Amino acid sequence: MLPNPNYRRVERQSCHMEERNWTARTKTDLIIEVWEALDCESVGARELETIQRMVCARFGGAAVDSPATIARLLAEEGAVLRHPEVLDCDTKWRAHMLENAFAETDFSSLTAAAASMTKLHSWRKTLQDDQVQVRLLHEIVADVRADLLFVAVSETSGQRAKEEAREIGQWLSVWSQTPELFPDWLELRLGSSGFRSLFPDFEIPQ
C-alpha cells in the first residue's frame, strides 16, 4: 500500500496543535481552523482524530462530533475526503463510544440489571438507523448473556446468584429477539407470580 502523502506533514503539525492559541469561538469555526492549520491535501483518519482532539481540549468530550459529521462539514468547505479512511475511522469511533457506554451497565444483580435494561433499550432506539452499531450492541449483549449462563451453571455460584443470573439471561434473550416488545414483556414478567415466587424481595426501580 502506498503511503498517505499527508501522513508525515499531519504527524508533524499535529504534535504542535496543543500549543496553538486558536481564535475560533465556536466548535464549527474551530473545526475549520484546525483543518486549515493542518494544510492537508485531503482529509482522512489522522486529520479527523486531530480535529476531535482539539475540540475535546477546547470544548470538552461531550462536544466532540463523530468523524463522519466532521468530514461532512469539511466537505462542505471544500475538503477532499479519503472516504474509506473516513468510514473506517467513524466505525471505530462509534464502536469505542458504545463500548465505553456499555461499561456503565451492571448485570450483576436484578436491581442493577433492571436499570441497565432501560439504558439498553434507549441505546437500541437511538442506534436503530445504524445497523453496524446495532449489530455491535447485540454482540456485546450476547457476550454478557454468555457470562450469565456460566454463572447460572457454575458449582461455585450460590443458589441466589444462579437464579438471578438465569433470570437476567432470560431478559437479555428476550430483548435480543424482540427488542421493540421488551419493555412491555419485562413489566409483565416482573409482576408475574412466577417471578414473585422466585424473588419476593425484589423492588422495581423507580
Whole-angstrom Cα distance, residue 128 to residue 45? 25
Q: What is the DSSP letter of 107?
A: -
Find where cell 479527523 sits.
48
Whole-angstrom Cα distance, residue 39 to residue 23? 17
Sequence spans of domains, the chain = 7-91, 104-198
Q: pLDDT tens digits for the chain (206 residues)? A: 334 444 444 455 555 566 678 888 999 999 999 999 998 889 999 999 999 999 999 999 888 888 989 999 999 999 999 999 998 898 888 888 888 878 889 999 999 999 999 999 888 888 877 787 888 888 889 989 999 999 999 988 899 999 999 999 999 999 999 999 999 999 999 999 999 999 999 987 66
Phi, psi of 44 (to 5 degrees): -140, -155
Q: Is residue 116 within 8 Å of 124, Cβ to Cβ?
A: no
Percent of the chain with pLDDT over 70: 90
